[in-house]
Amino acid sequence: MSSLEKMRELLVEYQQDHILKFVDQLDENERESFLKQLKTIKFQEVNALFRKAKESITEDVEKVDARMQPVPADQFGSEKNADKEELMTYRSIGLEEISKGRVAVLLLAGGQGTRLGVNYPKGMYSVNLPSGKSLFQIQAERIRRVINLAKQETGRVGSVVWYIMTSGPTNATTKKFLEKNDYFGLNQDDVILFQQGLLPCFDFDGKLLLDEKNAVAMAPDGNGGIYRALSERHILDDMEQRGIKYVHAHSVDNILVKVADPVFLGYCVKKKAECGAKVVSKNSPNEAVGVVCKVDGKYQVVEYSEITEKTANLTDPSGKLVFSSGNICNHFFSTSFLQRVAKQHESELKLHVAKKKIPYVDRNGDHIKPSEPNGIKIEKFIFDVFQFTDKFVTWEVPRISEFSALKNPDSVGKDCPSTAKRDLLVLHKSYIEEAGGIVTEGVDVEISPLLSYAGEHIEQRVKGKRFEGTISLLSEEETLNCYSNGLKNGKA
């Protein structure tokens, strides 16, 4: 029996044989490519996923007010409420772990910049800072800086492995971009790319959609697909071999993210947490952001649509919102916890289902771009593992210094390139002023991550100085490189 006949029998068993409708029209290479893809799809699991997804989209959104509780006070830390000595303790613990090579960064970078008007990975995007640096470069240089801070603190040269989860559409382009830029000074062996998984797209009856006559329509499985990918791509094995104990995971589109933040790491380590979440205080009761809390005694993120207005507006005696911990996709994990999730709990993750307009090949073989939703895409979310541990903590940070998302075009006026640029430059202005410098109104002064991670050690460069023109304050290394390049180009 040929491979095609075996596949046809399997598809008949799972009532998905319609996808072979055009197989006789394919040439040998197209048929081989199609069969190769089909062999990667677990059809029993796929059908079960649809049944589970169908149940979730037919249910009304349940209000969970009566079952919600805030994170207990002993598991809720806050930068604002911590004293200087406490923060220094956390920072020292974090830098110690970094110096021993026990820390990795897990970057969620599977998204394209489509909503920003570009057709390349979002991490390659530049918000037009004075330096012109992309998100990838900014974050890579923050890793380099924190390694240097750990060396200054401990005398040891540690390492932070940068695991970057890409997707099918972004993987090759991201790899080429990093190679072209020499990994922005990071050790190539410490930059590991791996792809998140894909899930088939369905019509509303559970039938798989064809993207081409020889290809099932597939979509990334969401940032919660990271747990399966860590296992299947052998990233957890790599972490174990390297002796990594702690992971800082975050999305690529937060321009203010403190990558491998030693304070956050130290807080989680000191609290003996398996899992932690950075949060920001909600701007208002109705801000459209998920809330980190407990439901039925388990930690989770509750979407704003699942809470009534009454509960959203609840305040404590001090006047602070009871449910104020806004989720910003910034997490801590122990590697032992990640191992347990991958082995025991990945299949239990909640499915998040979206009705979408999915291009497809119809029964006549024509490629259709629907004007209305015609099917569903299924995703898993990274935060849905909170429920699997009692050793969970949150760490509240100021939005002004840690969170500015890049999701929309400038025409939206919110979470866009202009606001991301503004927020970074406002933060850097505050660093300069705290160090005794003056920035003239309307002037943009950027601080290179290689010079300072969070405003430290810049007094010598800025104290008593007035900045009256747009500039990027560079590290000594960058200044030498600029001078060297200038000589090469006859400009110095």
Average pLDDT on 459-470 reads 95
| Residue 382 falls inside a structural domain | yes
CA pair distance 10, 106, nearest whole angstrom:
37
Residues near 105 by beta carbon (within 8 Å), at least 6 away in sequence: 143, 160, 161, 162, 163, 247, 248, 249, 250, 259, 260
- Average pLDDT, rounded, for the chain: 93
Structure confidence at residue 65 (pLDDT): 82
CA pair distance 492, 482, nearest whole angstrom:
9
Please report which confidence band the pLDDT of residue 489 belongs to, taking 50, 70 and 90 as the band edges: very low
Same domain, 426 and 403: no
Same domain, 336 and 463: no
Structure confidence at residue 201 (pLDDT): 94
Choice among 155-164, 243-252, 302-311 with the minimum mean pLDDT: 302-311
CA pair distance 103, 63, nearest whole angstrom:
38
| Residue 26 falls inside a structural domain | no
Q: What's phi and psi for 288, nearest 5 deg?
A: -80, 70
User: Of 407, 428, 450, which residue constitutes the final position of a domain?
Assistant: 407
Residue type, 115: R
Same domain, 90 and 71: yes
Evaluate if residue 293 carries a pLDDT over 70: yes
Range of the domain at 149: 59-407
Structure confidence at residue 480 (pLDDT): 83
| Residue 41 falls inside a structural domain | no
Using one digit for the tens of pLDDT, what is the confidence trace for 183-231? 999 999 999 999 998 899 999 999 999 999 999 999 889 999 999 999 9
Same domain, 396 and 468: no
User: Of 392, 407, 422, which residue constitutes the final position of a domain?
Assistant: 407
Please report which confidence band the pLDDT of residue 483 belongs to, taking 50, 70 and 90 as the band edges: low
CA pair distance 54, 451, nearest whole angstrom:
52
Give the total number of structural domains in the chain: 2
| Residue 162 falls inside a structural domain | yes
CA pair distance 258, 143, nearest whole angstrom:
9
For residue 452, what are its two tokens?
A: 């300072």
Same domain, 63 and 114: yes
CA pair distance 263, 119, nearest whole angstrom:
36
Conformation bin of residue 230: beta by default, left when phi > 0, alpha when psi is -120 to 50: alpha
Q: What percent of the chain has pLDDT over 90?
A: 86
Same domain, 340 and 428: no
Using one digit for the tens of pLDDT, what is the confidence trace for 348-374? 998 888 889 999 999 999 999 999 999
3-state helix, strand, coil in the chain (%, to 5): 40, 20, 35
Of 19-23, 137-141, 285-289, 468-472, give the range with the top mean pLDDT.
Answer: 137-141
Same domain, 281 and 330: yes
Evaluate if residue 485 carries a pLDDT over 90: no
pTM for this entry:
0.92
Same domain, 403 and 452: no
Structure confidence at residue 487 (pLDDT): 37
Q: Are 469 and 154 in contact (CB under 8 A)?
A: no
Structure confidence at residue 492 (pLDDT): 34
CA pair distance 224, 110, nearest whole angstrom:
12
| Residue 132 falls inside a structural domain | yes
Collapse the DSSP code of 278 into the 3-class scheme (helix H, G, I; strand E, B; otherwise coil) and give the result.
strand
Using one digit for the tens of pLDDT, what is the confidence trace for 53-109? 887 766 555 678 889 999 999 999 999 999 999 999 999 999 999 999 999 999 999
| Residue 34 falls inside a structural domain | no
Cα dist. 246→102, 135, 158, 412 in Å? 6, 23, 14, 37
Choice among 78-87, 147-156, 309-318, 456-465 with the minimum mean pLDDT: 309-318
Collapse the DSSP code of 288 into the 3-class scheme (helix H, G, I; strand E, B; otherwise coil) and give the result.
coil
Read off the CATH number of the domain in which 206 is found: 3.90.550.10
Choice among 57-71, 177-191, 314-328, 379-393 with the minimum mean pLDDT: 57-71
Same domain, 281 and 179: yes
| Residue 294 falls inside a structural domain | yes
